[in-house]
Amino acid sequence: KQRNHHEPEFLQAVQEVAETVIPYISTQEIYDGKNILLRMVEPERVVSFRVNWVDDSGEIQVNRGYRIEMNSAIGPYKGGLRFHPSVNLSILKFLAFEQVFKNSLTTLPMGGGKGGSDFNPKGKSDNEIMRFCQAFMSELFRHIGPNTDVPAGDIGVGGREIGYLFGMYKKLRNEFTGVLTGKGASWGGSLIRPEATGYGNVYFAQNMLATKNDSFEGKIVTISGSGNVAQFAAEKAIELGAKVVTLSDSSGYIYDEEGINTEKLEFVMDLKNVRRGRIHEYVEKYPNATFVKGEKPWTVKCDIALPCATQNELDGDAAKALIANGCTCVSEGANMPSTPEAIEAFHANGILFAPGKASNAGGVAVSGLEMSQNSLRYNWTREEVDAKLKQIMADIHASCAKYGTNDDGSIDYVRGANIAGFVKVADAMLAQGVV
């Protein structure tokens, strides 16, 4: 705590893991006296670098770039890149730390990492985005590689940015390798990768609901965010017969009582991915819906809530509002969207609650499958990848149940995910000695 006192998000993520893993360690002799958790909270390597680029008006801009190589005990570092003005060491270390456990849960051989920049992509031209990505990669390429560290997308980094980053890496190294995931389907990308985090989150929630003989059919679902994860969580929930009534961005949320159907969702995808507009434009197209400025969608009555925007977007009061409105299931698409107070309220009220490191692991799982396909120089079909994703989400659910089942039969998914993720990495670290 002393060493990282200026990193609140990182401390929050570590505390949540420590609270569940330390009691477990104390019952397991093999971990006794090995300081495993203490080693896990210290990144193996942190790279911070200057990113110079020239904007459209000819002015030289300076941003800060990072890559946190957190843990490589079970495979190459793997984790996304975030471009957002809020990016700093605390946020990237929390994300990298979570990533270690999440990647372990996927059953695939991937270590944990995360990176990004305080660059703000909002309002930038396509050329500016390209120049920034090239400048960013002109340093990052030294530190990554298909067997070393394989970045992917995150907030502000989607298919377009991965393309520019990949193009620059290929030019600098003169090699075509699977160094990034989330690539386009015609140049090494995996089918279902864009959909994977959102779909996987819904698959995980399906597994949770099945423990209560329940499903998405006929349920009212609130979703926050309107980016990659939110869009495909909505798509899958709609396909399973749910009524999705909200989406949001950092300026507020839209509420559509009639439900956001497939056609309306297509409008949102075009709005956000092609025209790069704001979510409030939804109500101009569909006037029966309302836009609530500056608020989050947690006061809307729902059965299932899927927070898919960003960290700490669902606090204790929001959790209480959800519970009072009859919500019974919360499955995190974003990383750490629920505050500790919110999680406490969910647990105290018997809500089915999935932490992101379990429920949003579908994205990195399909990234792992993209790496496998790149190594094989072969592509699996949509159906094959989707079937593997479904199986992985079911396996993660089973791992959570293995380590998180309470005496009364209910499942503490936070404890389950943390311990299951920990065991695999800790055992590998023990086997590899103090290095």
What does the binding site for ligand NDP look like in residue numbers (CB under 6 A)? 153-156, 158, 197, 225-230, 249-251, 308-310, 313, 333-335, 360, 363
| CA distances in angstroms from 240 to 205, 206, 218, 219, listed in the order given | 12, 10, 9, 9
Report phi then psi at 260, rounded to 5: -90, 105
Q: Closest distance between ligand NDP and the C-beta of residue 30, in Å?
A: 31
Report phi then psi at 272, rounded to 5: -85, -40
Nearer to ligand NDP, 206 or 360 (CB): 360
Distance CA 316, CA 111 (A): 32
Q: Closest distance between ligand NDP and the C-beta of residue 129, in Å?
A: 13
Neighbours of 254 (CB within 10 A): 24
Report phi then psi at 296, rounded to 5: -110, 155
Residues found in the chain: 435
Q: Closest distance between ligand NDP and the C-beta of residue 92, in Å?
A: 11
Q: Closest distance between ligand NDP and the C-beta of residue 38, in Å?
A: 26
Nearer to ligand NDP, 76 or 333 (CB): 333
Cβ distance 166 to 181 under 8 Å? no
Nearer to ligand NDP, 135 or 268 (CB): 268
Q: Cα dihedral angle (281, 237, 397, 364), rounded to 10 degrees?
A: -50
Q: Closest distance between ligand NDP and the C-beta of residue 230, in Å?
A: 6
Nearer to ligand NDP, 81 or 144 (CB): 81
> Does the annotation mark 388 as catalytic?
no
The neighbouring-strand residues paired with 289 are none
Nearer to ligand NDP, 188 or 225 (CB): 225
Q: Which of 78, 102, 114, 183 is catalytic?
A: 114
Distance CA 417, CA 19 (A): 13
Q: Catalytic residue numbers?
A: 114
